[in-house]
Amino acid sequence: MLLTRLPLGTSPPGAELPAAVWAFPVVGAGLGAGAGLAFEAASSPSPLVAAFAATIFLVLLTGALHEDGLADMADGLGAGGDRARTLEIMRDSRIGTFGTLALILVVGLEVALLAAIEGAIAALVTAGALSRGCMVRLLAALPPARPDGLGARASTPPRGAVRAAYATAVLPALLFYGLAGLWPILTAVAVTLVVSRLALRRIGGQTGDVLGGVQRLAHAAVLAAILAIR
C-alpha cells in the first residue's frame, strides 16, 4: 500500500517507484474528488456531518497511512533526543502524546474547515493534489534518513517525473480559483519548507513518516487557505 488501499496493483518495485511520483498528485486529486462526492452525499443533515463523511472516506481509502506518518513524525520530532533516538521513536508502532495531539488537532481542524468551506469538491481536489506534491518535493530535495522504507525506495526521483508532479499538483488550484489559487499553492510550499528544514536538522533527511506527516499538514493548511480566499 502506497497512497491508497484500493486494489489497483502493487507498488512499483526498485527504480520504478521514483519514476512514478508524477502520479502522486493525480491520485491525491482523485481521492479528493471521491471525498468531495461523499461530502455532497451527506450534506443534507448538516455541513458538519458532511465534513465527517468526507474525512472518513479519505481515512478508509488511504488506510490511515498518512495519519500514521503524521503521528510517528510528531512523536519523533516532539520528543527530542539525537538522530538515532528520533528515528527509533518514529519507527515505534506505539503512538505517544505528541502523535495523539497531532492527530486530534489536524483531523479536528480539517473537519471544522470542511464544514465551513463552500465548494467542497474543488477544495478537496486542490488539497489532495497539492499535499501529494509536497511529498514529491521532499523526495526530490532530501536524502533518505534511513536505508530502508518508502523514503529510501522512492528517493531521488527523475527530474521529468518531478516536474510533471509539480505541474499536476498546482493545476487544480489555478483551474478552480484562478490567480487566488496562488495562496493555497504558496501555503503548501511554506508547509513543505518548514517540515523539510525540521526533518533535515533533526534526522538528516526524509522518511515515509515524514512524507505522511507533510501530506497531512499541507492538506489541512491548504484547506485553511482556500477558506480564507472564498
Q: Of the candidates 161, 142, 150, which has an alpha carbon nearest to the alpha carbon of residue 12? A: 150
Q: Are 125 and 226 in contact (CB under 8 A)?
A: no
Report the number of distinct structural domains present in the chain: 1
Is residue 187, in this structure, part of any structural domain at all? Answer: yes
Residue 103 has pLDDT above 80, yes or no: yes
Is residue 215, in this structure, part of any structural domain at all? Answer: yes
Alpha carbon distance 127, 117 (integer Å) = 12
Q: Are 25 and 125 in contact (CB under 8 A)?
A: no
**Between 37 and 230, residue with greater pLDDT:** 37
Residue 173 has pLDDT above 90, yes or no: yes
pLDDT score of 67: 95
Is residue 2, in this structure, part of any structural domain at all? Answer: no
How confident is residue 224, by pLDDT bands cut at 50, 70 and 90? very high
Is residue 171, in this structure, part of any structural domain at all? Answer: yes
pLDDT score of 150: 73
Place of cell 493545476: 171
pLDDT score of 79: 82
pLDDT in tens, 45-75: 899 999 999 999 999 999 999 999 999 999 9
Is residue 16, in this structure, part of any structural domain at all? Answer: no
Q: Is residue 55 within a helix (H) or strand (E), and if so which, with residue range?
A: helix 47-62
Alpha carbon distance 206, 73 (integer Å) = 10
pLDDT score of 80: 78
Is residue 182, in this structure, part of any structural domain at all? Answer: yes
CA atoms within 13 A on the CB side of 29: 21
Is residue 55, in this structure, part of any structural domain at all? Answer: yes
Q: Are 127 and 31 in contact (CB under 8 A)?
A: no
pLDDT score of 18: 85
How confident is residue 85, by pLDDT bands cut at 50, 70 and 90? very high
State percent of the chain over pLDDT 70: 94
Is residue 122, in this structure, part of any structural domain at all? Answer: yes
Give the single-character DSSP code of 46.
-
Weakest mean pLDDT among 10-19, 60-69, 195-204: 10-19
Strand-pairing partners, residue 206, are 144
Alpha carbon distance 55, 78 (integer Å) = 25
Neighbours of 84 (CB within 10 A): 9
Domain span at residue 114 reads 22-229
pLDDT in tens, 129-139: 999 999 999 99
